[in-house]
Amino acid sequence: MSKTDASAPDRVLADAPTTVASSRLLWLLGPALVAGVAYLDPGNVASNMTAGARYGYLLVWVVVAGNVMAWLIQYLSAKLGIVTGASLPEILGVRMKRPTARRLYWIQAELVAMATDLAEIIGGAVALNLLFNLPLIWGGVITGTISMVVLMVHSRRGPRIFERVIIALMLIITVGFTAGVFFAHPEAGGVLAGMVPRFEGSNSVLLAASILGATIMPHAIYAHSSLTRDRFPEWQGIVATRRLLWATKWDVTIAMAIAGTVNLAILLLAASALQGVDGTDTLQGAYVALRDTLGPAIATTFAIGLLASGLASTSVGAYAGAEIMHGLLQVRIPLLLRRLVTLIPALFILGVGFDPTQALVLSQVVLSFGIPFALIPLVWLTAQRGLLGTFTNRWFTTAAGVVCALALVALNVVLLVLVFTGA
């Protein structure tokens, strides 16, 4: 890099710790927005739509709490990648000395990645069915094929162009999923009441776990550290790490604000327009109900958002899965080959006629079980002074991370008890 090029980033954040002095801060934004797409995948739509249609505003607090926890978790992941220059899977792969432990850890992480991919392919297939009346199996094939094209952008053009493609899809997702709420007129009193933590039966606990599994995505935790590792190596020695971390806080804040707003809008839309309407426990039924109550324009906008969600999130999910395998097993296979292999379970589910919405919700529950395996090591590693030096977590940051981990693990234990006791 020339001296002229090197001086530009320095000017970008010259006064970064105290003020956003330049629009050139935008140069450093992107990784969190890409990782944030994981919080807007079709699983989120299914979980939040089902929660709103069945329980109204009851689980608003779960969406809000999940998004607050997600901010901290994604920032810690980004910080780990920036400070160490390595991803979370890479660090774990080095620290796990026993090959058996490393492989077992990879298996659970791979199952989580497969559950993620299942939700995303199914979401894209359902969207194409709603928009063009395509059979679900062909919708899944088309969604997978387009995602391969997006991944080719990453392989051939690099992370910056890949970011732009994903961010463009995120804009479509945001419009598609929030447009309806402006016409549904949610009740302010109901929203406020929904901020009080409570459940109503075991099914609401199941949906809460599903929402958290969709909100705090294990593969997003793994991926964010990889994205920052790949995005900022050329900034080494140019921009102080502390200033880069400051910019990352803005990146994560913007991404989580978008994700939280969209997820809340989905739940509020279902609670205000679909509660008590028959058939809204499926994405197809929700589409029909939106068309009948708010008009075909809103329903079509929703379906377009669902399609963009499937395309963007499945591309990011495939990237995350490849990074997990490489970091833990030191095996790297081409992204496109991995994309082909991971398509098989989703296409099988679509081919046998399993209810797609139920598959989406259950996939999010699987994701919620994978959260502790990603979150606990993340909090522990970012608290290690020998690894992060002066950028080690402060005590209250580590305490907040521990509280998040304990809360998520406790909810999953309760869910397991409910499932195995038949409650």
> 91-123, pLDDT tens digit by residue?
999 999 899 999 999 988 888 888 878 878 888
pLDDT at position 276 over 70: yes
The tokens describing 68, both together, are 């607050």
- For residues 64 and 76, what is the distance between their CA atoms, to the nearest angstrom? 19
Tell me what pLDDT residue 271 has. 92
User: What is the pLDDT, as a whole number, of residue 416?
Assistant: 66
Would you say 145 and 287 are in contact if contact means Cβ atoms under 8 Å apart? no
- To the nearest whole percent, how much of the chain has pLDDT over 90? 38
pLDDT recorded at residue 36? 86
Residue 19 in this model has a pLDDT that exceeds 60:
no
pLDDT score for 383: 95
SS (H, E, C) 152-200: HHHHHHCHHHHHHHHHHHHHHHHHHHHCCHHHHCCCHHHHHHCCCCCCC
Q: What digits encode the pLDDT tens for the residues 286-343?
A: 899 899 989 999 999 999 999 999 999 888 888 888 888 888 888 877 777 777 777 8
Residue 165 has pLDDT above 80, yes or no: yes
Angle formed at CA 378 by CA 224 and CA 392, multiple of 5 degrees: 100
> What does the block give as tokens for 112?
């989580």
Which ranges of 330-384 would DSSP assign to H, the alpha helix? 335-352, 356-382
pLDDT of residue 365: 67
Residue 234's pLDDT band, with cuts at 50, 70 and 90, is low
42/191: higher pLDDT: 191
What is the C-alpha end-to-end distance of the chain, expressed in Å? Answer: 62
pLDDT of residue 4: 35
* Cα–Cα separations (whole angstroms), residue 406 to 69, 84, 195, 375, 399: 12, 26, 21, 10, 10
Q: Which long-range contacts (CB under 8 A, 24 or more apart) does 403-411 make?
A: 404/69, 404/72, 404/73, 404/375, 404/379, 405/372, 405/375, 405/376, 405/379, 407/69, 408/69, 408/212, 408/216, 408/368, 408/371, 408/372, 408/375, 409/371, 409/372, 411/205, 411/208, 411/209, 411/212, 411/368
Q: Is 158 left (phi over 0), alpha (psi -120 to 50) or beta?
A: left
Over range 145-163, report the average pLDDT.
82
Q: How confident is the model at residue 376 (pLDDT cuts 50, 70, 90)?
A: very high
Q: What is the mean pLDDT of residues 72-95?
A: 92
Question: Average model confidence (pLDDT) for the chain?
Answer: 83
- Residue written as token pair 């793994």: 222
Separation CA 335–CA 339 (nearest Å)? 6
Q: 150: number of CA atoms within 13 Å, CB side?
A: 27
**pLDDT tops 50 at residue 17:** no
Token couple for 25: 């801060």
Q: How confident is the model at residue 258 (pLDDT cuts 50, 70, 90)?
A: very high
Global pTM value: 0.86
Best CA proximity match to 243, nearest among 23, 25, 409, 401: 25
